[in-house]
Amino acid sequence: MTSLFKFPFLLFIVFSFSVSSAEHDSSSKGLVNLDKRFIPINKEIILSQEMTIIDGDKNSEIIILDNLDGLNIVNFWASWCNPCIEEISELNKFQENIYSKNLNVSLIGINIFDKKKDAISFYVKYKPFFKTIFDNKNTISVKFSVMGVPETYFVKDNKILFKYMGKINQEILERGIDESSKY
Amino acid sequence: MKAVNIKLIILLIFLFSAFNNALSENKIYSISNELMCPVCQGQTVAESNSQLALSMKEVIKIKVSEGKSKEEILDYFVLQYGDTILAKPPIKGFGLLLWILPPAILILSILMWTIRVKKNNRNRGK
Indicate if the pLDDT at residue A1 is higher than 70: no
Work out the pLDDT band at B5, boundaries 50, 70, 90: confident
Instruction: Compare CB distances from A138 to B38, B55, B109 and report the shortest one's residue.
Output: B55
Q: Is the peptide bond before A150 cis (omega within 30 degrees of 0)?
A: yes
Looking at every residue in chain A, the average pLDDT score rounds to 86
Closest partner residue to A15 (CB to CB) among B77, B81, B101 is: B101
**Is B72's Cβ below 8 Å from some Cβ in A?**
no
Q: Is the pLDDT of residue B60 over 70?
A: yes
Distance to chain A for B10, nearest Cα, Å: 32
CB-based contact A172:A164 (threshold 8 Å): yes
Cβ neighbours around A145 below 10 Å, total: 22
Say what the pLDDT of residue A61 is: 87
Cβ–Cβ contact B73 with A under 8 A: no
Selecting from B80, B101, B119 the residue whose C-beta is nearest the C-beta of A1 gives B119
Nearest chain B Cα distance for residue A100, angstroms: 36
With 0-12 / 13-18 / 19 or more C-beta atoms within 10 angstroms meaning exposed / middle / buried, residue B77 is buried
Contacts of B105 in chain A (CB under 8 A): 8, 11-12, 15
Average pLDDT over residues A106-131: 93
pLDDT of residue A14: 63
Instruction: State which residue of chain A sits closest to B82, comparing Cα positions.
Output: A145
Residue ranges of alpha helices (H) inside A43-169 are 82-101, 116-126, 140-143
- Sign of the Cα torsion B114, B115, B118, B120 reads negative
- Mean pLDDT over A105-120 rounds to 94
* Overall average pLDDT of the B70-81 stretch: 94
pLDDT at B7: 84
Residue A28 confidence (pLDDT): 41
Q: Which CATH superfamily is domain B2-90 in?
A: Cytochrome C biogenesis protein (1.10.8.640)
DSSP helix/strand/coil, A147: coil
User: Is residue B116 less than 8 Å (CB to CB) from chain A?
Assistant: yes
Q: Which pLDDT value is given to residue B96?
A: 81
What mean pLDDT do residues B30-57 have?
Answer: 94
pLDDT of residue A20: 52
- Please enumerate residues of A whose Cβ is less than 8 A from a Cβ of B: 1, 4-5, 7-9, 11-12, 15, 19, 22, 78, 112-113, 137-139, 141-143, 145-148
Q: Are the Cβ atoms of B56 and A8 closer than 8 angstroms? A: no
Chain A interface test: which of B97, B112, B114 (most A C-beta within 10 Å): B112
Would you say residue A31 has pLDDT above 60? Answer: yes
Helix (H) or strand (E) holding B30: helix B2-32
ipTM of the prediction? 0.71
Q: How far is A132 from chain B (nearest CA, A)?
A: 20
The confidence score (pLDDT) of residue B89 equals: 79
* Residue contacts between A and B (CB atoms, under 8 Å): 55
- Interchain contact, A5 vs B116, CB within 8 Å: yes
